């Protein structure tokens, strides 16, 4: 058996399952604000709340994903969570009011949290140990492709085919994600049982916060929280902002430019991460992401809108897989599922709080001010990253070298 092989059949299947899972998510996330404001006659704040409710459920359930996988098995949780995600994707076709939409969004968010955590954990387990950075980068590339194609297709179908067609497409994509995920299996890591032998005694005692959170992933997860807060304004309100600027016909192409610049440098980013370390990628990516948001805040023409999309894609596309890899590698091998859940817990929390807060900000001060505020938030993530990760790692390495010399 070639343990160096990355592109195995199971890795390809879990990547494609993740693609269709996130395709459904991003199609809904982008088009739902239009559905709430135009289809249901709601306000910008209500559009933001429809995303926030989704994320609240994600935040509540994601910490339990690691425990569920440990207790019932990784594959079983992948299958059940993807099946439930499919059922609630179909439920949008029966929504007849805003209150019912919020109810469906809540349950859909909970199943999304478990499904994404379990598929992420499966993918990480399949990737060869010494190719984690590269493998996670490629795996997240499929999420990024969904991030590009989903909004484009969602806005296009909503414009030409209506909301029912959009909901039906999301249900079909959820079905494909379920079939692919259910057919994916990975061989158990032989080192995990030995590392986890100390766990059974704890399983019989009361549930402790360490059973739900991997504390070593928390520092980088806080940086992810800040980035997600700002990023939520892009996904949730981009279509409404473009409509306000009278360039809404170009909104879907914004996400195409966004996605192209995520996809093109991704293979390089993964290899750089394994070879030269994370700091070389993180700081330039934050700067590029910030500049992109500032350009978006001033976008009154199609050209500037598309350029801002490309710049944001380059910055965000390099930043997210880097943060995720740092979180995973910070944890012991048998707690990497928890590390993934911890990272996305704070990412979801930032996304949810951001959707509601930025929606209120946009209602009072306009979208230009909102995107300038997002740029400031993104820039501040560099300070958080330096304080909670870079500086701490430097001090840890210095202490290790000193101990080795002595």
Query: 193-211 pLDDT, tens per residue?
Result: 444 444 444 444 566 667 7
Report H helices in 161-217. Answer: 163-182, 191-195, 199-203
**pLDDT(213) > 50:** yes
Query: 251-264 pLDDT, tens per residue?
Result: 878 888 888 888 88
**pLDDT(103) > 50:** yes
- Compute the Cα dihedral for 243, 245, 248, 252 and give only its sign: negative
Of 29-38, 52-61, 116-125, 391-400, the least confident: 391-400
* For range 83-107, the mean pLDDT: 93
**pLDDT(120) > 80:** yes
> Measured between alpha carbons, how far is 285 from 16 in angstroms, rounded to an integer?
26
Residue 90: the pLDDT is 95
Query: What number does CATH give the domain 9-184+213-397?
Result: 1.20.1250.20
Rounded to 5 degrees, what angle do the CA atoms 348, 352, 356 make? Answer: 170
CA end-to-end span of the chain:
42
**pLDDT(228) > 80:** yes
């Amino acid at each position: 058996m070639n343990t160096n092989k990355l592109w195995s059949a199971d890795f390809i299947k879990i990547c494609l399952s993740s693609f269709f899972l996130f395709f459904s998510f991003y199609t809904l996330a982008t088009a739902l604000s239009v559905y709430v404001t135009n289809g249901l006659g709601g306000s910008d704040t209500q559009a933001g709340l429809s995303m926030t409710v989704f994320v609240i459920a994600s935040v509540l359930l994601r910490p339990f994903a690691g425990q569920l996988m440990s207790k019932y098995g990784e594959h079983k949780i992948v299958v059940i969570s993807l099946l439930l995600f499919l059922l609630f994707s179909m439920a949008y076709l029966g929504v007849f009011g805003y209150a019912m939409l919020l109810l469906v969004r809540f349950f859909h968010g909970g199943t999304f949290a478990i499904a994404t955590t379990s598929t992420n954990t499966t993918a990480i387990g399949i990737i060869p140990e010494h190719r984690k950075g590269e493998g996670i980068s490629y795996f997240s590339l499929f999420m990024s492709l969904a991030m590009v194609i989903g909004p484009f297709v969602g806005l296009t179908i909503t414009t030409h085919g209506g909301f029912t067609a959009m909901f039906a497409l999301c249900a079909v994509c959820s079905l494909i994600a379920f079939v692919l995920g259910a057919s994916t299996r990975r061989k158990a890591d032989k080192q995990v049982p030995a590392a986890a032998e100390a766990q059974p005694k704890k399983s019989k005692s009361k549930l402790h916060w360490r059973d739900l959170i991997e504390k070593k992933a928390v520092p980088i997860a806080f940086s992810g929280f800040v980035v997600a807060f700002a990023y939520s304004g892009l996904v949730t309100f981009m279509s409404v902002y473009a409509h306000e600027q009278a360039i809404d016909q170009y909104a879907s192409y914004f996400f195409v430019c966004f996605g192209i610049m995520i996809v093109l440098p991704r293979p390089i980013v993964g290899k750089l991460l394994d070879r030269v370390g994370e700091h070389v990628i993180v700081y330039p990516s934050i700067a590029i992401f910030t500049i992109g948001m500032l350009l978006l805040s001033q976008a009154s023409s199609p050209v500037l809108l598309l350029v801002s999309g490309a710049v944001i894609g380059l910055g965000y596309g390099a930043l997210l897989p880097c943060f995720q890899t740092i979180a995973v590698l910070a944890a012991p091998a048998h707690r990497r599922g928890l590390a993934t859940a911890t990272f996305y817990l704070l990412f979801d929390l930032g996304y949810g709080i951001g959707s509601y807060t930025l929606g209120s900000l946009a209602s009072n001060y306009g979208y230009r001010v909102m995107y300038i505020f997002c740029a400031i938030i993104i820039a501040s993530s560099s300070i958080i990253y330096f304080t909670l990760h870079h500086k701490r790692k430097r001090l840890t390495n210095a202490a290790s070298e000193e101990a080795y010399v002595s």
